Amino acid sequence: MTDSILDLDRRHVWHPFTQAQTAPPPMVAVGGRGAHLLTEDGGQVLDLISSWWVNLHGHAHPAIAAAVADQAARLEQVVFADFTHAPAARLAAGLATLLPGDLDRVFFSDNGSTAVEVALKVALQYFANIGDERRRRLVAFDGGYHGDTVGAMSVGRSSGYFRAWDGLLFPVEMLPFPASWEGDQEVAAKEAEALETIERALGPDVAAVIVEPLVQGASGMRMCRPSFLVALAARVKAAGALLVFDEVMTGFGRTGGLFACLKAGVTPDLVCLSKGLTGGFLPMGATVVREAIYRHFLGEGLDKAFLHGHSYTANPLGCVAGLASLELLLGEACRSRIAAIEAIHRGRLAALAAAGLGRHHRSCGTIAAVELGEGGYGSAAGSKIKAFFLEHGMLLRPIGSVIYFMPPYCIEPADLHRAWDVLGEAAAGGVGGAT
Ligand SMILES: Cc1ncc(COP(=O)(O)O)c(C=O)c1O
């Protein structure tokens, strides 16, 4: 008899962010269609988290699938130190056109963490290249999460995921993040206090400040006002440091604008992209850098060059997926779907708040969050709410007491309303201590 997929998995696979001893067995995915994942037992699950925030247009979207299949039959991979190719050049040009100012130079890598590592290394080397050896310090925000490699962990240390490696991370000063929500009376005071701290922190030794613009994802969909980012950018610029926007999660329409930097009206010096970059088809990262910074990496020898790369840098399959995804994203149909999700989120959050259910209701574009019950990451309350949603055929990953929806843009309005109905039931029924 052959082993089942679950038997093989149980014996040989190590799952991310999971305590295997206590976690329920994983579901076996055999397919995807639109906003649904299809499981081995013939069931389907509504993917309310876009499979860890990557899927934009629905699973197995035929236009992206066809583009990848066509490219795979012609050129699957090529060393990017010696070659370029049409998908990479076109995707870089497309990103440069969409991003503001002179954010025109694209460095491709493998995922969100590497997009961040590249940004940090470019920022530090930039100051070395221009002869300002003092600027070696990085500054980040409390609650920020930027990935699981060592540099990304260092700037994301306060997210609380990295205690096992504490002593190995390099020192980074953490600034307060003025997280806010609907009806928050304290927001102006929190922002003023944060900006004061930021001014004090921005000494002549700071190379770069990194922030998740508008929404801190992994620490619980903590949202700030666009005006805070405008004020932050002005202070970082005045201090002569570089501003890095980690748009790994917020990019490609998630916040309602094409990018959070456009929505906030801020032109940062570097932007990190991944997740939605390929519409959820292939792992890929991109760090977009202002041309004025890139110029300082040019010279006669290798000493000023950026000596960094990954085997799969600018993989052609990832690039064509990116191009096909961008085409869908820029279409009128996608824009109106994003607007519809935004309107449903707003209306349903307001109704929950009016019914006295949940705390700190907030939304930004296609992301909506509310707090129910108590508890940190992986808490029993979160697990019970997750299980309750699964009983209704819906996938969630609560972050502690934060319940959030971040669906693919193709989700049917009726399905999204159903998800809000289930959330209302969970809150009214006190599932997992939720109220
Ligand atoms: C804002 C942000 N930056 C970076 C990352 C890391 O991305 P990856 O998991 O692709 O390495 C994440 C992942 O959740 C993220 O949300």
Computed over every residue of the chain, the mean pLDDT equals: 96
Name which residue leads in pLDDT, 431 or 101.
101
pLDDT of 433 reads 73
My answer on whether 19 and 75 are in the same domain is no
Beta carbons of 321 and 68 less than 8 angstroms apart: yes
pLDDT of 430 reads 84
Which bin fits 425, alpha (ψ -120 to 50), beta or left (φ > 0)?
alpha
My answer on whether 219 and 239 are in the same domain is yes
My answer on whether 74 and 198 are in the same domain is yes
My answer on whether 374 and 228 are in the same domain is no
Domain boundary among 329, 353, 384: 329
Q: Which long-range contacts (CB under 8 A, 24 or more apart) does 390-397 make?
A: 390/45, 392/418, 392/422, 393/43, 393/44, 393/45, 393/46, 394/45, 394/46, 394/48, 394/418, 394/419, 394/422, 395/37, 395/45, 395/46, 395/47, 395/48, 395/49, 396/48, 396/49, 397/49, 397/52
From 146, 221, 273, 310, give the residue whose CB has the most ligand 1 atoms within 8 Å, as the site to mutate. 146
Q: Tokens 């989120």 belong to which residue?
A: 345
Percent of the chain residues topping a pLDDT of 70: 98
pLDDT of 160 reads 79
CATH (domain of 426): 3.90.1150.10
My answer on whether 275 and 180 are in the same domain is yes
**With 70 as the cut, is the pLDDT of residue 1 above it?**
no
Mean predicted confidence (pLDDT) in 189-197:
98
Domain boundary among 329, 350, 370: 329
My answer on whether 186 and 291 are in the same domain is yes
Going from the Cα of 232 to the center of ligand 1, the distance in angstroms, rounded, reads: 22
My answer on whether 153 and 249 are in the same domain is yes
CATH (domain of 227): 3.40.640.10
Mean predicted confidence (pLDDT) in 194-206:
97
Tell me how far apart the alpha carbons of residues 272 and 113 are, in angstroms, rounded to a whole number.
9
- pLDDT, tens digit, for every residue of 26-67? 999 999 999 999 999 999 999 999 999 999 999 999 999 999
pLDDT of 360 reads 97
pLDDT of 322 reads 98
pLDDT of 432 reads 72
- pLDDT, tens digit, for every residue of 105-135? 999 999 999 999 999 999 999 999 999 999 9
From 53, 108, 113, 150, give the residue whose CB has the most ligand 1 atoms within 8 Å, as the site to mutate. 113
The SS3 assignment for 289 reads: strand
- What are the residues facing 370 on neighbouring strands? 403
Ligand 1 atom closest to Cα of residue 112: 7
Domain enclosing residue 55, as ranges: 5-60+334-433
Tell me how far apart the alpha carbons of residues 232 and 234 are, in angstroms, rounded to a whole number.
5
The count of C-alpha atoms lying within 13 angstroms of the C-alpha of 233, restricted to the half-sphere facing its C-beta, is 18
Going from the Cα of 172 to the center of ligand 1, the distance in angstroms, rounded, reads: 18
My answer on whether 225 and 322 are in the same domain is yes
Mean predicted confidence (pLDDT) in 310-324:
98
My answer on whether 70 and 215 are in the same domain is yes
**With 80 as the cut, is the pLDDT of residue 435 above it?**
no
Structural domain tally of the chain?
Answer: 2
Q: Tokens 């309750």 belong to which residue?
A: 388
pLDDT of 373 reads 80
**With 70 as the cut, is the pLDDT of residue 230 above it?**
yes
pLDDT of 15 reads 98
Going from the Cα of 2 to the center of ligand 1, the distance in angstroms, rounded, reads: 37
My answer on whether 16 and 132 are in the same domain is no
My answer on whether 394 and 366 are in the same domain is yes
Ligand 1 atom closest to Cα of residue 149: 11
Tell me how far apart the alpha carbons of residues 243 and 394 are, in angstroms, rounded to a whole number.
38
**With 80 as the cut, is the pLDDT of residue 377 above it?**
no
Domain boundary among 329, 356, 375: 329
pLDDT of 376 reads 63
Name which residue leads in pLDDT, 384 or 123.
123
Who's near 110: CB < 8 A, 6+ residues apart?
283, 284, 285, 310, 312, 313
